[in-house]
Structure 1
């Protein structure tokens, strides 16, 4: 099954908060996830010659020391700004998705996002004809994607560290996975980033 881009929000077996991102693409496969201080950026490889405004963006961003966001586009930064201004995770996602709407490309690609506001996890999507924002229960992991899984659904994640979760995401049985990214809360006011490339496994 091809799911395109996916965000994951949940809790590890050790009750650690984490956010995950899967980049799967048929049209623009020459890309990577790169850690850049307090964010993770999706960007083309130097060998790629792509002319598309939607393929380069921060997919993850840490906000202050206790909040974080993941998404499939530049709305990562918009949501991060709302969290930084004191909005709840639910409101930060809702306002940002409404403002930016789905991507106006040939596929009407949905915008998806998840965030942690230092209290709760939220996950959401905006498509051409609907918007969903759900709170993630504290014993669950939820996934939503741009194709085929456009309603949040439960997923089982067995690993506990950012690096191991990133590897696990790359090994999921979905087509055309390129790379993954994870931000995991190790303890209060402390997050760790990790990325993984499918071709390394």
Structure 2
């Protein structure tokens, strides 16, 4: 029996075309599917314990709900707890005040030096009593919710979460869909998908760290 070479080539060509189309369809599906809503990153330090104590050294007008911000984390994860304490028993200090046009609305830093990151030990754990968390109410002075949001963000750093810069599509009006209170700028407080409290992505990060 003789086979037609043209027939074989034609069949092979059709099969190859089908494979290419299938791969193209898979590629299109991958490209058009929304990215998973997970974006948490780690801060340079975390704690070697899961119950950490803070002491408020100042809360100047306009005040910030610092205890409320800590509670926003406590109510959303069972893996980590902030507790208010005396200065003598603290792990870190917290303050809110008008520190001027610094370029930052909130920051965690080495005690006595706002330009330095908190010190970590050789195991990348925070060193107790060496860190201050500052909320600068020079910014967001007209919004209690944004000042509290800044504090929530900074408490996130004090857990061990770093910044993230991802958003997801689908927010009304085409606004950015913020998926984390740890978004790197105060833009997270604006738009139809503004965020002021820890998200599922944030608590996923806490669970992974502790």
Give the structure-2-normalised TM-score.
Answer: 0.27
Give the structure-1-normalised TM-score.
Answer: 0.28
Larger proportion of strand: 1
The structure, 1 or 2, with the larger RCO (C-alpha pairs under 8 Å, 6+ apart) is 1
Larger proportion of helix: 2
